Amino acid sequence: MTQKKPIHLDLGKNSYDIFIGQGEIDRLGERLETVDFKGKVAVVTNPKIEKLYGSRVKKSLQKSGYRPLVLQIPAGERYKTLKQIGRVYDGLIENRFERKDLVIALGGGVIGDMAGFAAATFLRGIPFVQCPTSVVAQVDASIGGKTGVDHARGKNLIGAFHQPRFVSTDPAVLGTLPKREYISGLAEVVKYGVIADETFFQYLEQNSREIRALKIEKVSDCIERSSAIKAAIVQSDERESGLRKILNYGHTIGHAVETLTGYRSVRHGEGVAMGMIAASRLAVEMGVLHPHDVDRQTALLKDFGLPVKLPDLDPADILNVMAGDKKVMGGEIYFVLPKKIGSVEMMKVDKKVLRRFLKTLPKTV
């Protein structure tokens, strides 16, 4: 089992480490001991993840003297609701959890967001730990303290910032993901290359076949570099008042697609992939990006097996959902637009321009 040097987020009193390494999931108990945690522990997960990793996590916690309570919520983005958060609250209340006690999020981005939100709001805030088991969660959702749930009118409209005590990332667990789920997560990896690191983007281009085939050494490199980029951005802008907004590249249209398809037929990463290409095409139309950089992104996403065309949705519906997005400011819609691979900028886009542009985007048949 290999162990990489932890990535440290310096956030003052909210500082924490991201531990990345094969076998990390078996070290949860040890990690809690190192932060001198002695309270009760609740593991929030879903039935699929518990079946895969529940016994290993419980064994690790029990070995360190903890008696974990397991709370299950259904798997899937469509269950990322306040109703399901209520089930977590019920379990914590029934087992008399107090402010010194802790929640562990064991699962993908949905579990991480929901367990984190439950921890942020239960008794006005209790500690929690992220143990991400999907690509999206490992490189993005588990880092930075964003927690929340969806609303019928938009994704992640209800939430809170609540930083974890630490993040425990085990790349080896990705081998049990369904192929589509693994591929979907690679969109977030590509995002980091576009927004911050052309050299990393080139690495993805050169190693796309091995990464798609889940060669653990290459995948671990991707997780470590993506996590480091995200950590650096969060460290500079914990509450998303400026720089951190660039992490939303591809998400403005991507979230609208997820919402309009009922969080069922389009995975998060697939929506992000579609959204990145749409945003790049918009950047070309606005004269800030060379078409060659759209071609590079399109080719890489296709190499990974990701979609680059939107479903056949009404442009007016897409615009309506985007207008209600949490990133809208003063009623204006802002996009993260690439200027070149490795550099992006937040830009306001007129709704008339967007309406016309959305009608020109190629759709899947």
Catalytic residue check, 248: yes
pLDDT tens digits along 65-100: 999 999 999 999 999 999 999 999 999 999 999 999
Choosing from 31, 58, 244, 267, the catalytic residue is 244
Would you place residue 2 in the very low, low, confident or very high pLDDT band (cuts 50, 70, 90)? very low
Residue 16 CA to residue 6 CA, distance in Å, equals: 10
Antiparallel, parallel or unpaired: β 41-45 and 69-72: parallel
Catalytic residue check, 245: no
Q: Do residues 147 and 183 both lie within one domain? A: no
Q: Do residues 215 and 351 both lie within one domain? A: yes
Alpha-carbon torsion (189, 191, 194, 196), positive or negative = negative
Residue 300 resides in a domain: yes
The residue-averaged pLDDT of 307-332 equals 88
Domain boundary among 173, 202, 219: 173
User: How many other C-beta atoms lie within 10 A of the C-beta of residue 225?
Assistant: 20
Split into its structural domains, the chain has a count of 2
CA distances to 11, 31, 313 from 164, rounded to whole Å, are 11, 13, 37
Q: Do residues 121 and 215 both lie within one domain? A: no
Residue 264 CA to residue 258 CA, distance in Å, equals: 8
Q: Do residues 87 and 115 both lie within one domain? A: yes
According to DSSP, residue 117 is labeled: H
Catalytic residue check, 230: yes
pLDDT at residue 365 tops 70: no
Choosing from 67, 83, 96, 124, the catalytic residue is 124
Catalytic residue check, 156: no
Catalytic residue check, 268: yes
Task: Quote the mean pLDDT of the chain.
Answer: 95
pLDDT at residue 152 in the model: 86
Domain boundary among 152, 173, 194: 173
Residue 364 resides in a domain: no
Catalytic residue check, 351: no
pLDDT tens digits along 185-234: 999 999 999 999 999 999 999 999 999 999 999 999 999 999 999 999 99
Rounded (to 5) percent helix, strand, coil in the chain = 55, 20, 30
| Ramachandran angles phi, psi of 76, nearest 5° | 125, 145
Residue 363 resides in a domain: no
pLDDT at residue 363 tops 90: no
Residue 173 CA to residue 11 CA, distance in Å, equals: 28
Residue 2 resides in a domain: no
Domain boundary among 173, 203, 238: 173
pLDDT at residue 120 in the model: 98
Terminal CA-to-CA distance of the chain, rounded, Å? 46
Residue 216 resides in a domain: yes
pLDDT at residue 90 in the model: 98
pLDDT at residue 332 in the model: 87
Q: Give me the domain span that covers residue 185.
A: 179-358
Q: Do residues 252 and 296 both lie within one domain? A: yes
Token digits of residue 193: 């290359």
The residue-averaged pLDDT of 37-59 equals 96
Q: Do residues 166 and 186 both lie within one domain? A: no
Residue 233 CA to residue 247 CA, distance in Å, equals: 8
Q: Do residues 20 and 168 both lie within one domain? A: yes
Q: Do residues 168 and 187 both lie within one domain? A: no
Residue 59 resides in a domain: yes
The CATH number of residue 129's host domain is 3.40.50.1970
Catalytic residue check, 95: no
Residue 44 CA to residue 50 CA, distance in Å, equals: 9
The CATH number of residue 263's host domain is 1.20.1090.10
User: How many other C-beta atoms lie within 10 A of the C-beta of residue 72?
Assistant: 18
Q: What is the pTM of this model?
A: 0.93
Q: Do residues 100 and 200 both lie within one domain? A: no
Q: Do residues 199 and 344 both lie within one domain? A: yes
Catalytic residue check, 80: no
Q: Do residues 156 and 192 both lie within one domain? A: no
pLDDT at residue 155 in the model: 86
Antiparallel, parallel or unpaired: β 154-161 and 333-340: unpaired
pLDDT at residue 325 tops 80: no
Residue 35 resides in a domain: yes
pLDDT tens digits along 101-152: 999 999 999 999 999 999 999 999 999 999 999 999 999 999 999 999 999 8
pLDDT tens digits along 254-287: 999 999 999 889 999 999 999 999 999 999 999 9
Q: Do residues 127 and 63 both lie within one domain? A: yes
Residue 230 resides in a domain: yes
Would you place residue 3 in the very low, low, confident or very high pLDDT band (cuts 50, 70, 90)? low
Catalytic residue check, 239: no
